[in-house]
Amino acid sequence: DLLLFYSSSEKKLVTLEEYKSRMKEDQKYIYYACGESVGKIDRLPQTELLRDHGYEILYCTDDVDEFALRMMREFDGKEFRSAVDGDLGLEDEPKPQESESDKECLAFIKETLGNRVDEVKASQKLKSHPVCMTSGEGLTFEMEKYFQAVQPELSMKAKRILEVNVAHPAFLKLESVRATDPELAKKYAEVLYNQALLIAGLPLADPSGYTDLVCSLWS
């Protein structure tokens, strides 16, 4: 009852009891999102769909926050659910319509990125943004960053799932050039992957190479 979290809707610290009192009738979960700061969490693409539903999100900016919520599991009968790393549990939300060409293009992106990602899939979270990276269940990216900082020798890494908005112009462009210019399509896939890493606050393997890649697309 003493825990306080920054609220996306109230714009101040609130208790879990206060959050629960404002939950919508159809809301099943207490949603939270983790990040380095309130400002960065506020701009995460993964939270857009929850905002459209009018759901309040708790912002977790301290290293201990996510560990604490995972340990608690639920509050007063309402389970905690990450807005960033897991399934949002919005059963009424229609699944993205994937054409055969979309599926082939997603497979092409996975083949291009290889073992750098565990999965590439059409996103149910994204609306106006092209891409994001999620970790699914288990170890999250914030947990990964924490362990990398305090126990780097453990080499603990979260699963990397690249979620793509198949209705976004960036994906449609990649899809259109895949058959005619596969090398250019691979460059687009690399850009989407690196953008997803940046949004998640994960390090780029080769920042200089990414800069050169983006600049090469201007020529």
- Rounded CA separation 69/213 (Å): 39
- Rounded CA separation 192/214 (Å): 11
Long-range contacts of 143-146 (CB under 8 A, 24+ apart): 143/66, 143/67, 144/202, 145/201, 145/202, 146/63
Closest CA to 52 of 6, 9, 81, 15: 9
Closest CA to 136 of 162, 164, 154, 167: 162
Phi and psi at residue 18, to the nearest 5°: -65, -40
Q: What is the DSSP string of 95-143?
A: PP---HHHHHHHHHHHHHHGGG-SEEEE-SS-SSSSEEEE--SSS-HHH
Closest CA to 34 of 63, 60, 55: 60
pLDDT in tens, 195-216: 999 999 888 999 999 999 999 9
Task: Quote the strand ranges of the chain, DSSP E.
Answer: 5-7, 13-14, 29-34, 57-60, 74-75, 78-82, 119-122, 131-134, 161-164
Phi and psi at residue 146, to the nearest 5°: -65, -50
**Going by C-beta distance under 8 Å and a sequence separation of 6 or more, which residues neighbour residue 92?**
26
Q: How confident is the model over 106-123, as a mean pLDDT?
A: 96
Q: How confident is the model over 33-42, as a mean pLDDT?
A: 91
pLDDT in tens, 73-97: 999 999 999 988 778 888 666 677 7
pTM (2 d.p.): 0.88
pLDDT at res. 98: 81
Phi and psi at residue 84, to the nearest 5°: -100, -40
What radius of gyration do the chain's Cα atoms show? 18
pLDDT at res. 134: 92
- Rounded CA separation 83/163 (Å): 14
At 167, is the secondary structure helix, strand, or coil?
coil
